[in-house]
Amino acid sequence: MDAPVRPQTLGPCRHAVRVRGNRWASVPPPQPDELMSSWLHRLARANGRSDHTLCSMMFGPVPLLTRDLDLTMPVALLPVLSEWTGISEYRLSELLLTTLQGKVTGESWTGTGCRWVLPLGVYHRVRRHHGLQYCPQCLAEPIAYARRQWRYAFVTECLEHERPLFDRCPTCASPFMFHRMHPDRGQRWGCATCGEALNMPDASAGSKYLLRRQQARLVAAAGSGGARMNCRWVSSLTLFNGYRFLVHTLTSSRLKHLAKTAIIDRDGTLRPSGTHTEFERMGVYLRRPIMLALATWMTDWPDRFLRDVRSSCSSRSVLMGDRRHIPFWIQEVLDTLPTAQPHRLTSQEVQSCARWLRAGGQAISFDGLCRALSLSTWERMLPANRVLLGEGVSGLD
């Protein structure tokens, strides 16, 4: 197959616009929900500069572009940026992802990541992780720009166009790097790696309403700082911490039977984990079925969740693990689960029971062993017990 031809681009520095004093001649207004990195790129293009030249002229030798600037841009630079552009500092601060702190995550930027924010894997000017998603139809609009929501790990759909988001080029799978993209004369925004147009209409199926409704709720909570849950107000941080717990239940290797019940049996065949990949580092194709499982639980909270927990034989202690701080709206549901520990068999116990049955002249069967060991339905369904009982039936020692 022929490699896609890199489209002719209108790159920076072709028509550098004169600077008037300390003010850019052309300042495109920030668009709704725009990322700082996206707006700086559009500002640079509007003034015929590269992003690097633009930032050097305004901020001097600050290493801004080789960082995740949407998360780490020092607020001390906002007055400078405001002076150069005439946009208020408050409006500029809204372009940063740091506004999520206290609303979505209680942690600040740790240097390696931020909870619920997709990591970019910044390496010089290149991105190694798929930390910025995109919607081809949003990119095809007259003003193409990158949205803040495209960095959120709980966002997988475009609510405006009611379609799934992409997190990589469909042709070469490289990360979406808006800051390195320039439209050609036909307004085609080509992938920064292979040049394939990313703003072309495609035949992707629409997204599920359940998923979009949940996403709209979470995005609203992230913006306002609060949400309604079972007719009472909760802080968005409490809501997101609870979601975090539920994501953990679906990605933990200890609870893979719950994931099978909630995701694979109900919605498809995709296995969400089996690795210890953090949710933020998962591709959108893995995050989507997890968010859909959570949306399904939330339509009938907590009944559907409890049904799945019971049918997957997951116990309260396994669900809680070693977690100390569980949000109240999760804890009150977990407290309704039985606390008794199930009878976990040992190989020796099963083999000696089998020998005892054989000595009494009885046939060795799965049900016979369960009856002799007085196992409850829950205990006989426990995966580890089933394996040992199977070995007992087949006569393994």
The residue among 196 and 308 lying less far from Zn ion, judged by its C-beta, is 196
* Helices within the chain (DSSP H only): 36-46, 51-59, 69-72, 78-85, 89-93, 136-139, 209-224, 236-251, 256-259, 265-267, 284-299, 303-311, 316-320, 328-334, 347-359, 366-373, 377-381, 383-393
CB of 192 to Zn ion, least distance (A): 8
Q: Specify the residue, 49 or 168, whose C-beta has the smaller distance to Zn ion.
A: 168
Angle between helix 284-299 and helix 209-224 axes, rounded to 10 deg: 90
- Our CB check for Zn ion shows the closer of 3 and 25 to be 3
Q: Which of 62, 80, 194, 381 binds Zn ion (CB under 5 A)?
A: 194
Task: Determine the residue type at 270.
Answer: L
**300 Cβ contact partners less than 8 Å away, ≥ 6 residues apart:** none
For Zn ion, which stretch binds (CB under 5 A), given 164-172, 275-283, 326-334, 367-375?
164-172
Choosing from 193, 249, 251, 385, the residue that interacts with Zn ion (CB under 5 A) is: 193
Token duo for residue 372: 């002799």
172 near Zn ion, judged by CB under 5 A: yes
52, 161, 217, 260: which one binds Zn ion (CB under 5 A)? 161
Q: How far is the CB of 159 from Zn ion (least distance, A)?
A: 8
Stretch in the footprint of Zn ion (CB under 5 A) among 64-72, 74-82, 167-175, 279-287: 167-175
Tokens 């029971």 found at: 353
CB of 200 to Zn ion, least distance (A): 12
The nearest distance, CB 242 to Zn ion, in angstroms, is 28
Contacts of 392 (CB under 8 A, 6+ apart): 350, 351, 353, 354, 364, 369
Distance CA 121, CA 175 (A): 10
How many residues at the interface with Zn ion, by CB under 5 A? 13
| Minimum distance, C-beta of residue 164 to Zn ion, in the bound complex (Å) | 10
Query: Closest separation between CB of residue 284 and Zn ion, Å?
Result: 14
Instruction: Confirm or reject binding of residue 192 to Zn ion (CB under 5 A).
Output: no
Comparing C-alpha atoms, which of 170, 177, 221 is closest to residue 68?
A: 177
Residue 137 sits in the site that holds Zn ion (CB under 5 A): yes
Decide if residue 273 touches Zn ion (CB under 5 A): no
Token code pair at residue 292? 């859909």
Establish if 191 lies at the interface with Zn ion (CB under 5 A): yes
Cis peptide bond upstream of 302, omega within 30: yes
> Which residue among 71, 78, 81, 138 contacts Zn ion (CB under 5 A)?
138
Q: Is 40 helix (H, G, I), strand (E, B) or coil?
A: helix
Q: Which spans of this chain sit near Zn ion (rule: CB under 5 A)?
A: 135, 137-138, 158, 160-161, 169, 171-172, 191, 193-194, 196
